[in-house]
């Protein structure tokens, strides 16, 4: 115990931060977005016969309220207010220029009758991991081709009652893919904020083929053994900002996707311009931040800072495979703290799930310009496993100012990768050790420039560990 404490103090004293010489423009596309948009027309769900007793099914009430408010979409927009109570419902859709607002003691509860979650066609790219190439259940709250949509509240709750769905999944009794809690497609100017999402049957928040998306101040909770309960999944979407969120779940905390194998390649709709900051996460089965494995449309221009990852399987992960095609490039991850994480960094070139057998085995992904810097970790199992693909080396993988307290005698395992490292403890794998005759260049987080790897200038990083973790939820 005394040894751990002293090690913790040493890391706090000697971990340094590289100061960059440029001003970030990450997230500028979300700065004007706000959950506090004035709507001149407002109704309460009880006006449409809803009963908040947790037993009465209110699907029709929600649908009728939305239908009524649609007449105000071109008159300044409208708000649907959900007061305190437990509001049981099946799937319901949203409209443009709408605010769905929940009281702090309001709980929207997903029905346990699967017939209350309609079955719809699959997404064009099959971009949802483990999605069957057939029909799928509609999400609890959904919308398509919308603009100016806000889902917010005073930390009200949306509960998917996922345990029943997880049981069906484990028992192989589902004919269709499990639903999300929130899914918006082909939509723009979307804000999701100040809410708690609980027990999603599948992924929690899924913007797909969207732009101008802001997710902030949300809490996402699911048991650590729950299957595929991803937190926030931007998918084939651009100009996305995610900040100040707490996620404790059974799969990836935040994961960026862009379509699966030949379907994602054909659609060719990338995820780009994504800003992630101030995230605290815990996951037993996934990573704090992940890319893929469905990334066939491409992922680029991602900047993530201020990540706190505890009691988790992976810290940072990239997943891909032959057949994916596409790319993950221009990714900048900085200011990361980890504690009790089995594997700090993992890049997997053979994450081999496929939607069917029609994929092109020669469609190789491009993984390049990945910078990970200013990372400190306590009680880490393995520092990293970084594996490319034969004939498809992953390039410009850059590690800088990384200090990990590692248990394994073999902290790094690398193959088929190329890149650079500087100030990495324990010393990084040979493939990332710079040759002094070379001029290593790493992606610096901007869209058009790179930075030379230099010795870091010393600056105290004590504050990154002293920032308190958000309160862990118990189940």
Which of 233, 310, 342 has its CA nearest to residue 468?
310
Q: Report residue 53 CA to chain centroid gap.
A: 33
Q: Examine the pLDDT at 12 and tell me if it is beyond 60.
A: no
Q: Examine the pLDDT at 446 and tell me if it is beyond 50.
A: yes
**What digits encode the pLDDT tens for the residues 447-473?**
544 444 443 333 333 333 333 333 333
| Residues 160-197: b if buried by 16+ CB within 10 A, e if exposed | bbbeebbeebeeeebebbbbbbbbbbbbbbbbbbbbbb
Which residues are catalytic, by number? 251
- H helix or E strand, kind and range, residue 4: helix 2-14
pLDDT confidence of residue 326: 98
Q: Examine the pLDDT at 360 and tell me if it is beyond 60.
A: yes
pLDDT confidence of residue 105: 98
The sign of the torsion formed by the CA atoms of 19, 24, 27, 33 equals positive
CATH 2.160.20.10 residue window(s) in the chain? 28-237+246-251
Average pLDDT rounded to a whole number, residues 383-398:
97
pLDDT confidence of residue 26: 53
Mean pLDDT computed over every residue of the chain: 88
Using CA atoms, how far residue 363 sits from 22, 262, 435, in Å, is: 36, 9, 31
Q: Which residues contact 294 (CB under 8 A, 6 or more apart)?
A: 125, 126, 127, 128, 129, 235, 257, 258, 259, 260, 261, 264, 324
Q: Report residue 185 CA to chain centroid gap.
A: 16
Q: How confident is the model at residue 128 (pLDDT cuts 50, 70, 90)?
A: low
**What digits encode the pLDDT tens for the residues 14-57?**
333 323 333 344 567 777 789 999 999 999 999 999 999 999 99
Q: What percent of the chain has pLDDT over 70?
A: 85
Q: Examine the pLDDT at 79 and tell me if it is beyond 90.
A: yes
CA separation for the pair 185, 97 (Å, rounded): 15
Fold designation for 28-237+246-251: Pectate Lyase C-like (2.160.20)
Which of 328, 324, 325 has its CA nearest to residue 316?
328
* pTM across the whole model: 0.89
pLDDT confidence of residue 122: 83
**What digits encode the pLDDT tens for the residues 295-304?**
999 999 999 9
Average pLDDT rounded to a whole number, residues 153-182:
95
Average pLDDT rounded to a whole number, residues 125-134:
59
Indicate the Cα dihedral angle 250, 414, 4, 290, nearest 10°.
Answer: -30
pLDDT confidence of residue 456: 39
Q: Examine the pLDDT at 132 and tell me if it is beyond 60.
A: no
**What digits encode the pLDDT tens for the residues 205-246?**
999 999 999 999 999 999 999 999 999 999 999 999 999 999
The sign of the torsion formed by the CA atoms of 411, 13, 462, 9 equals positive
133 contacts 122 by C-beta, under 8 angstroms: yes
Q: Report residue 353 CA to chain centroid gap.
A: 20
Q: Which residues contact 352 (CB under 8 A, 6 or more apart)?
A: 321, 322
Q: Examine the pLDDT at 149 and tell me if it is beyond 50.
A: yes
Average pLDDT rounded to a whole number, residues 54-61:
98
């Amino acid at each position: 115990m005394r040894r751990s404490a002293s090690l913790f103090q040493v890391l706090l004293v000697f971990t340094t931060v590289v100061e960059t010489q440029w001003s970030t423009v990450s997230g500028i596309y979300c700065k004007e977005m706000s959950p506090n948009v004035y709507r001149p027309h407002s109704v309460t769900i009880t006006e449409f016969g809803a009963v908040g007793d947790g037993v009465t099914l209110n699907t029709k009430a929600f649908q009728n309220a939305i239908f009524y408010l649609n007449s105000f979409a071109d008159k300044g927009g409208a708000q649907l207010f959900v007061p305190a109570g437990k509001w049981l419902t099946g799937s319901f859709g949203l409209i443009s220029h709408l605010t769905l607002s929940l009281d702090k003691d309001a709980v929207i509860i997903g029905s346990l009758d699967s017939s209350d979650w309609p079955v719809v066609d699959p997404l064009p790219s099959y971009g949802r991991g483990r999605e069957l190439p057939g029909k799928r259940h509609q999400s609890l709250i959904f919308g398509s081709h919308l603009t100016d949509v806000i889902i917010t509240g005073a930390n009200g709750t949306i509960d998917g009652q996922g345990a029943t769905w997880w049981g069906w999944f484990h028992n192989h009794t589902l004919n269709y893919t499990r639903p999300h809690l929130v899914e918006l497609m082909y939509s723009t100017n979307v804000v999701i904020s100040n809410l708690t999402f609980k027990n999603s049957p599948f992924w929690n928040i899924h913007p797909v083929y969207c732009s101008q998306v802001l997710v902030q101040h949300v809490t996402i909770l699911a048991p650590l053994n729950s299957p595929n309960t991803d937190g926030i999944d931007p998918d084939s979407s651009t100009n996305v900002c995610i900040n100040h969120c707490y996620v404790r779940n059974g799969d990836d905390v935040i994961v960026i996707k862009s379509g699966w194998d030949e379907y994602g390649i054909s659609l060719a709709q990338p995820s780009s311009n994504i800003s992630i900051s101030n995230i605290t996460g815990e996951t037993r089965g996934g990573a704090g931040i992940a890319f893929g494995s469905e990334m066939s449309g491409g992922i680029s221009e991602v900047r993530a800072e201020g990540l706190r990852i505890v009691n988790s399987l992976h810290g940072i992960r990239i997943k891909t495979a032959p057949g994916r095609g596409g790319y993950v490039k221009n990714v900048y991850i900085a200011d990361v703290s980890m504690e009790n994480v089995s594997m700090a960094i993992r890049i997997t070139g053979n994450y081999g799930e496929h939607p069917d057998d029609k994929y092109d085995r020669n469609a190789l992904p491009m993984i390049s310009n990945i910078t990970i810097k200013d990372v400190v970790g306590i009680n880490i199992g393995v520092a990293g496993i970084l594996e490319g693909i034969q004939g498809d080396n992953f390039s410009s993988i850059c590690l800088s100012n990384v200090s990990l307290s590692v248990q394994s005698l073999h902290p790094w395992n690398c193959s088929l990768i190329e890149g650079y490292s500087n100030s990495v403890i324990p010393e990084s794998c040979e493939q990332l050790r710079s040759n002094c005759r070379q001029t290593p260049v790493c992606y610096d987080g901007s869209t058009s420039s790179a930075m030379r790897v230099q010795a870091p200038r010393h600056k105290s990083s004590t504050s990154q560990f002293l920032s308190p973790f958000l309160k862990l939820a118990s189940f």
